A and B are shown apart, each in its own frame.
Chain A
């Protein structure tokens, strides 16, 4: 159970960078007024961020991933989250096994 000094410093740098991003949003909203259109724009942040994270997997990785994303999205219309996620994971495994 050893911790290398250079590794520890690298981990601390990552932790500091991450904490900075997580706290600066709070600082931001304290100094910028959020009325009307701006507040509406802020409410669009959740889907905008989530979409940006998944888009390369959904549209630019492979046929298996694209199809599995579609399966997950359709499942999510009717089924609970865990079931939809399980269906997505199962479909990507099957499609990859088929060589897609």
Chain B
């Protein structure tokens, strides 16, 4: 691929992620504002967004934040919240034929949910390239870090995100993406199993086990329905 085609690919990635950037900036601001109420300085909030780059686990960390900070507590919480990334990187990894080993590993470090979901979407219709992935990841990463920093600096000047409904932007994006992954009744079985297991687990088990429980239930449902259709599996 020559330089120009690579640049076009990069721009394509940027175009694909742009609606999600609009959705993530309010969430980043909220994260920064919440971090400020927990006593984190803007530098600390920005550092967390830059190094962890996983919104769900950052919000959970703020939920359980203590002074002085407990690295075992938030570290384990991050592991638990992000355990789904094992499945996500396995799933995206088999789509990365066009990546060298270093590019593959580097890309995975930026595997936020939104980036991953858009990349999976892209892989359904075209070959995933490093340039396209970079166009996806770079602006989104910058938006997340800068909005977190701004949120922490502005703090209480921001309105209540719950009243404005902005806390709903993130689930709304996921719902739109779920609808896009519909492939027929077998997807229905996956969604049903995942949703039911997640709701039940969240009801009975404190913490964030529900994400792992739902993901594994959905995966199991796919294995069961996949076994029944084994005859049509191509070599």
Are B74 and A23 touching (Cβ within 8 A)? Answer: no
Are A47 and B90 touching (Cβ within 8 A)? Answer: no
- Inter-chain CA distance A9–B230, complex, in Å, is 49
Nearest-Cβ distance from residue B77 to partner chain A, whole angstroms: 8
Are A51 and B48 touching (Cβ within 8 A)? Answer: no
- Inter-chain CA distance A94–B68, complex, in Å, is 40
Nearest-Cβ distance from residue A39 to partner chain B, whole angstroms: 7
Most buried by B among A7, A24, A25, A49: A49
For residue B164, CB closer than 8 A to chain A, the reply is yes
Main secondary structure of the interface of A (DSSP, over half): helix
Are A7 and B40 touching (Cβ within 8 A)? Answer: yes
Query: What B residues does A9 contact at CB under 8 A?
Result: 69, 71
Digitize A77-100: 1 where CB-to-B-CB distance is under 8 Å, 0 elsewhere.
100111011001111110011000
Are B89 and A47 touching (Cβ within 8 A)? Answer: no
Nearest-Cβ distance from residue A12 to partner chain B, whole angstroms: 7
For residue B210, CB closer than 8 A to chain A, the reply is yes
Query: What A residues does B162 contact at CB under 8 A?
Result: 96
Query: What B residues does A92 contact at CB under 8 A?
Result: 165, 168
Are A14 and B57 touching (Cβ within 8 A)? Answer: yes
Most buried by A among B41, B48, B171: B171
> Which residues in window 21-64 of B have CB below 8 A to A?
22-23, 40-44, 47-48, 51-54, 56-58, 61
B-to-A contact residues, CB < 8 Å:
19-20, 22-23, 40-44, 47-48, 51-54, 56-58, 61, 68-72, 74-79, 82-94, 104-105, 108-109, 111, 113, 117, 120, 162-166, 168-169, 171-182, 186-187, 190-191, 193-199, 202-203, 210-215, 217-219, 221-223, 226-227, 230, 233-235
